[in-house]
Amino acid sequence: MERPFILHMFTPTKNVSPFDVNMAADAGYNVIVPYGDVTLDQVGPLTQDAIFSRGPKGVKRTGIFIGGREIGMAADMLDSARNAMVPPFEVSVFADPSGAFTTAAAMVACVEQQLKKAHQTDLKGKTVVVMGGTGPVGAAAAVLASSVGASVKIASHTSANRARMTSEVVNARYGAHTEPAEATSDSQKTSLIGRAHVILAAAKAGIRVLSAERLMEAGELLVAADVNAVPPAGIEGLGVMDDGKPLKAGSGKAVGIGALAVGNVKYQCQRGLFDDMLQAEKPLYLDFRDAFAAARRLAA
């Protein structure tokens, strides 16, 4: 009888995401064990408890998933788990806090695809404004857009200070090149989006960050994407199923990507990375860079 596939799910928050549990089960893990309120100093001991109990062969059928809300903490926890490995007792680890890595990867990959399809161009040199950029999805998307040569502005509709802090953190930690931007008033939004080629709406569910009126001031806009599937839409006029549909904007040439179009790629991306863990002969350590590579293949 073959040993079961076991997934240990660590999160610094109280609960592991039910979405992630469902994804892991659908991918084929037989036993899924959640661990809530995990602190960084607990990751190493928990990891070693997981690896030493199954032997060198059993570790191939064991994995660790790292959730939470903060992309920096998830990265630290992944590093801590990796440092706790004692080859040949070594298992795969996948970090995706609040689905931020796979969602951001899908969002940016879908934008790349629509830029190519609708405008025969790419993100290099484009001005990208991330609305709701201080959350985990927005921050991860900012890093990814910066990594392919975009000029990225991280905006918050509630706090200019949070935008500044997020920009400083992702630049220092990931080598990104982002700038903070104020978007707490309509006049600030008008100034900001008037120069944007791409707008990424990554605010909390049910929060509208751009009205139809503001979109008519977006004279350079090529693509807008929204990850909010809960009404009202983050960008007014952008439907959840839109995938390259023309969007009314001042440029007269913008197309939109809705939350479910992004979500389809996100789902396949997360499921695919779980599959990679299950099938790997050697341990994998998966973060937003791996998610982006997978999402780009899927979006294409």
What pTM, to 2 d.p., does this model score?
0.94
More reliable by pLDDT, 40 or 3: 40
Q: Which tokens is 106 given?
A: 């899908």
Closest CA to 101 of 296, 227, 289, 298: 289
In terms of DSSP bridges, do strands 127-131 and 198-201 run parallel, antiparallel, or are they unpaired? parallel
Question: What is 6-99+265-299's CATH number?
Answer: 3.40.50.10280
Q: Which residue has the tokens 């779980």?
A: 274
pLDDT per residue as tens digits for the range 74-93: 999 999 999 999 999 999 99
Question: How many whole angstroms from its chain centre is CA 267?
Answer: 12
The predicted model gives 81-110 an average pLDDT of 96
Maximal C-alpha separation, the chain: 66
Say if residues 291 and 95 touch (Cβ distance below 8 Å): no
Instruction: Please count the residues of the chain.
Output: 300
pLDDT per residue as tens digits for the range 244-265: 999 999 999 999 999 999 999 9
Helix or strand holding residue 244 (H, E)? strand 243-246
Say if residues 250 and 218 touch (Cβ distance below 8 Å): yes
Give me the pLDDT at residue 1, please. Answer: 60
Give me the pLDDT at residue 196, please. Answer: 97
Alpha-carbon distance of 239 to 258, in angstroms, equals 5
Query: Which residues neighbour 230 within 8 Å (Cβ) at sequence distance 6 or greater?
Result: 205, 206
Query: Does the domain formed by 102-262 have CATH 3.30.590.20?
Result: no
At 7, give phi and psi (nearest 5°).
-120, 125
Give me the pLDDT at residue 184, please. Answer: 83
Alpha-carbon distance of 29 to 276, in angstroms, equals 12
pLDDT per residue as tens digits for the range 203-259: 988 889 899 999 999 999 999 999 999 999 999 999 999 999 999 999 999 999 999
Beta bridge partners of 66: 10, 95
CA angle 146, 138, 119 (to 5 degrees): 55
| Side-by-side strand order, sheet with 6-10 | 31-35, 6-10, 62-66, 92-95, 285-286
pLDDT over 90 (residue 130): yes
CATH 3.40.50.720 domain extents, the chain: 102-262
CATH 3.40.50.10280 domain extents, the chain: 6-99+265-299
Mean pLDDT of the chain: 94
Closest CA to 170 of 142, 145, 148: 142
204 in helix, strand or coil?
Answer: coil
